[in-house]
Amino acid sequence: MSSAQQRVREMLSRFEEQAAAAAQLKDKMSEIRGEARSQDGAVTVTVAPSGAVLDLRLSPEAMRRSHTELQQTIVQTIRQATQRAAETMNATVEPVLGDRAEQFREAYQAHGAQPPADVDAAAEPAPRPAPPAADRPAQPPRSRPNRPRRDDDPGDEDFSRDSFLR
């Protein structure tokens, strides 16, 4: 066997190993979840690494809170669960990707999955919701008039030689 054939076989073997490792990583990543419970146990949340809420459980105690307090507790608990999922994701990909793990995290976050940088940000108060529609001045909906097309209407023609004003 020539040295060129041997190099091709080695490259093919490495590629197959990398493909198998990628498949295993994909399987592991699909199983990653982050779970968090509020300090008093009233709210429990399970999320995917992307931050998508997979499960939300409220105890009877949670229903005794004001709506704003419950909202803040839910958001804080989601952030904690998302942080835990991100930590698990990092621990899962680091051994497989090594020095390319940071590139993976950047690419993962660029595609919409943006876990919070830290859980302490959850302590910030939630912004006040917009007032109900009845309290806001009514604005007419904006719509473009739907004119019937005339036979002499050029439509989307090229106006590079003529003016586009009519």
- Look at the pTM and tell me if it is higher than 0.85: no
> DSSP letter at 151?
T
Strands 43-47 and 53-58: antiparallel
Q: How confident is the model at residue 43 (pLDDT cuts 50, 70, 90)?
A: very high
Q: Considering only CA atoms, which of 53, 101, 60, 96 is closest in space to residue 78? A: 53
Q: What is the pLDDT of residue 93?
A: 81
Interval 51-96: pLDDT, tens: 899 999 999 999 999 999 999 999 999 999 999 998 998 888 887 7
Whether residue 94 lies inside any domain: the answer is: yes
Number of domains in the chain: 1
What's 92's domain CATH number? Answer: 3.30.1310.10
Contact call for residues 82 and 34 (beta carbons, < 8 A) = yes
Question: 51-65, 109-123, 135-149: lowest mean pLDDT where?
Answer: 109-123
Residue 121 lies in domain: 32-128
